[in-house]
Structure 1
Amino acid sequence: MAPAVAQTPYTDDAVYRGLGGTDGIVKIIDTLFEITLADPRIKETFDGFDIPVVKARLVEQVCEFAGGPCKYTGKYKDRDMKTVHEDMKLNNMHFNALAEDLQIAMERHNVPTSVSNKLIAKLAPMQRDIVTAGGGTPSAQPDHGKFIATGGVSTVEGVGGGGIVPWALITGYGTRDSWGASAFATRVDTQDYSLNTFGAAVGIGDRVEVSLARQEFKGDLAPLDQLNIKQDIFGVKLKLAGDAVYQQDSWMPQIAIGLQHKKNKGVGGLGALGVTNVKQLGAKSDRGTDFYIAATKVLFEQSLLVNGTLRSTKANQMGILGFGGDKESSRRIMPELSVGYLLTRKLVLGAEYRRKPHNLGVDNEKAYKDIFLAWVPNRHFSLTAAYAHLGTITVFNPKTQRGAYLSAQAAF
């Protein structure tokens, strides 16, 4: 795979020095080709190429991008690099595989994540020139082709995102030429309540996501120690514009819209009090639909992931206590935020905020907040741990609920 047209280099040499200077870059590129020529995803794309020449061009390119003293010539055997890539018919899976192999090569040479991410920020926009194939009808065969961790994890409502906030990212690791899926199980434990959620989602063509989830909310403290409420959630998400990863030379985020239809299954454990349905707690309905728009951006240069979501909702405690109430029954627009710092390409530390409406007289509902650590060792498994702050849940227990959040996800 030959290098493509150059992007704007860094104006200082901090990244160049972080890569170990020219000697360090040569070693990184040598390691890159050791990895790439053994990588079944892309090794065949180098058939027929003069590898020493390709290496030399890549060293020039990386050195110049990084703010070093090199000059990228931009030619492979007198051919323009964009023309070379047009002939190669590369897709997003090929591009992402090479970028990932480069990240691994930099890790092996102890390049700090903050430095390697800055280099990736310069390389990612080259996708527009390098990728000349794909984008049609998604294949029936999963390609596992997206950057690691860029499918997000699963929220407590089953959609791709953080722990409590949906993102514009599409779940799974299928690129626009394929599909992917995920399944998850999550438990939240506070002093007096627990929430168990499990579900699955499918992402098609990195554009459409469909999800299903079941929530079960339980009380642990008398008189609510027998409380048991279940809720089913069906979700659909559609990517509208932008790309969270490739457009590193633009502030344009990836934007998606979605809906979550929720059906409360009734209230268990309070029959002695005559309560079997959330309407008896003041809710207007036991079912409802949330609509949202999300914008997500991965800022490799700053090693950040940033997401903002606006949700139109009537839900009380996500719908666990029904929809609408005696205090308010109309839709409200609620903001939700997520910020994550990329400690490594497999480890993200972040925080989230989700504002919620106050519809019920029996529930002085407050915002949800969390601080999370997500570990993504590979494309098939992730584990997210968090400290969750859920505010108060009903006036029958005025204690602020705080506790542990743990979620495991399998994906492809």
Structure 2
Amino acid sequence: MDVAHVLHMNGGDGEASYARNSFLQRKVICMTKGMREEAIRKVYCSRRPRSLVIADLGCSSGPNTLLVVSEVIMAVEKLCRELKHDDESPEYQVLMNDLPGNDFNNIFKSLDLFVEQLSKQVEGGVGPCYFSGVPGSFYGRIFPTKSLDFVHSSYSLQWLSQVPEGVVNNKGNIYMASTSPLNVFEAYYEQFQRDFSLFLKCRAEEVVEGGCMILTFLGRRSDDPSSKECCYIWELLAMALNEMVFEGIIKEEEVDRFNIPQYTPSPSEVKSEVMKEGSFSIDRLEVSEVHWNPFNDDGSSSEFSTDDGGYHVANLMRSVAEPLLTTHFGEAIIEDAFCRYRRILTRIMSKETTMFINVTVSMTRTAS
């Protein structure tokens, strides 16, 4: 599987699109707003740049794409007014990065309206805004040396650059699972270490001294990589696929050869890689949680929330995973697979409290 060419969220605005099924990701972005405002104030006050360069890595497309950019610009404009720098608003250069398969056209079509609405929200308007789309993997250099002031990424860095090598014996599973052999966990962790270390090394060359970076991973609290906190959502999808194997709809070896290119790290694993790479100092490292069903605000397993929840969560996961499944299994099985998945999710969510765990780290580029 060529992850860089296959991995992307479902484009467009149809029922299974990421644009219509990314409310959970929006909730997670909103949960980290305070950390972003703290970081951008630090960057602006310490450097007072005339041109502020903001990069959003794994920007995707849809209603969430420009949310962080809007918050960052408004925070800077508010700070300018607090400091009586009303006539010194910086220029904003916004760099939107994702893999080449991302629906960048959807982003570009919304920019005029975005700038117009942003100007109305800030009394006196905002400084000039310049936008660029930057297709490419963030597991490599994508920006010029010492060009970035502020870097943000949410729910992207759990995706690996490739399926780990040596997981051919992960039979019946599509990710790390409670029944996976030990070597599977080792292979996934080693791939995460290589990828995140490379990510940090590349960003260290691109971020200016004193620049900030805020990263949110889909992760886990536990140090156990087989924890249900991170594996359960994929185990249930594997259950749906294995039902189809039992009924002869897909072949057993097709499931055995399919593995999700993702790793959901613990806070200690994230901290360890940042410290080993050595170019960034950690300002804050926090863990939060959000219910699988984004419309269930209190995390309870009420009959109402879970009845709709199976539908919402199946659509959420489909908007993320469908391109991977289609590439491997073909389009013909998709509707059946996600109907089964929805049924399984509805049953499980009626009995259990199911939460996604988020690991967010805020860091500053130190002196070289």
Per the normalisation by structure 1, the TM-score is 0.24
Structure showing greater radius of gyration is 1
With a CA cutoff of 8 Å and minimum separation of 6, indicate the structure with the bigger relative contact order.
2
TM-score, scaled to structure 2: 0.26
